[in-house]
Amino acid sequence: MKQGKIFLKDKKTYFDYAILTFLTEEKEFLEAKPGSFFMLQANTLLKKPISVMHCHKKDGILKFMVKKIGKGTEFLYNLNPGDMLDAMGPSGNGFPIEENQKYIAIGGGSGIPPFYFLAKTVKKENLTIVYGGKTQKDIVPVFGKSQSVIITTESGEIGIKGTVIDGIKKAFTKKGFENAVILSCGPKGMVKAIKQNFPDFEHYTSLENYMACGFGVCLGCVVETKDGYKRACVDGPVFNIKDLKEF
């Protein structure tokens, strides 16, 4: 984990979401993997944890997607190309990925960025993404046609009308995905519903807990596990759901 500067090269917005493409000369920043996050400077006392959406070593590019929900994410949303930012990372353990395993990755709202990154690193035939939102405004059009993505919206504006649970049921019917490992990232209610509906599947989830320091000293992000309390920022944020007491 390192501290340094990143430079905003490009920004695209889609309703409340912004995709921010930064350039960096910090080589260590480019060691990020799917599930890694950075603590990004905001106009708040504390930096904000944001998942890496993509990391392109050769071009020195780091990409993030933020949803504006409060002061910090609104500051990030309002950045403009040319702006510099303090960043600390890459942090976190990332998703445990095995080469020949099939995965169903479920992202709700701002939980989709790690799976965009994952889609760039695993074989296409091994990954089905379920991307859920309340309305079309929550589904940022980032995936190409060649990636297997099942979209669900509660409003039914695009994709399957329903929740990610309906999308996951469909994903499990795909040939070869009957015993896929579940990966999830999103609101706790969504993660709980996945656990309740698919209790027997191996399932790793990336927790979006509040984080203050982001490097293991404040204990602001602790979670109760079978082996006692763990810090989401350094021991996670990805955990096997069967180890987490709250699920």
Ligand X SMILES: Cc1cc2nc3c(=O)[nH]c(=O)nc-3n(C[C@H](O)[C@H](O)[C@H](O)COP(=O)(O)OP(=O)(O)OC[C@H]3O[C@@H](n4cnc5c(N)ncnc54)[C@H](O)[C@@H]3O)c2cc1C
Which one of 29-37, 67-75, 159-167, 206-214 is the stretch in contact with ligand FES (CB under 6 A)? 206-214
Which residue, chain included where needed, has tokens 């950075």?
38
Write each residue from 104 to 143 as x if it is in contact with ligand FES (CB under 6 A), else as -, in one continuous string.
----------------------------------------
Smallest separation, CB 125 to ligand FES (Å): 36
For the chain, the residue count is: 247
Q: Which stretch binds ligand FES (CB under 6 A): 88-96, 139-147, 157-165, 208-216?
A: 208-216
Q: DSSP states of 163-196 as a string?
A: -HHHHHHHHHTSTT-TTPEEEEES-HHHHHHHHH
Figure out which of the listed residues 47, 54, 67, 102 binds ligand X, where binding follows CB under 6 A: 67
β-bridge partners, 183: 105, 204
Return the range that interacts with ligand X (CB under 6 A); candidates 96-104, 137-145, 159-167, 209-217.
209-217
156 in Cβ contact with 194 (< 8 Å): no
Q: Exactly one of 160, 212, 225, 243 binds ligand FES (CB under 6 A); which one?
A: 212
Please report whether residue 88 would count as binding ligand X according to CB under 6 A: no
In the complex, the smallest distance separating the C-beta of residue 52 from ligand FES, rounded to whole angstroms, is 17
Taking the C-alpha atoms of residue 172 and residue 139, their distance in angstroms, rounded to an integer, is: 21
Q: Which of ligand X, ligand FES, none sits in contact with 73, Cβ below 5 to 8 A by type?
A: ligand X
Helix (H) or strand (E) holding 113: helix 113-121
d(CA 91, CA 88): 8
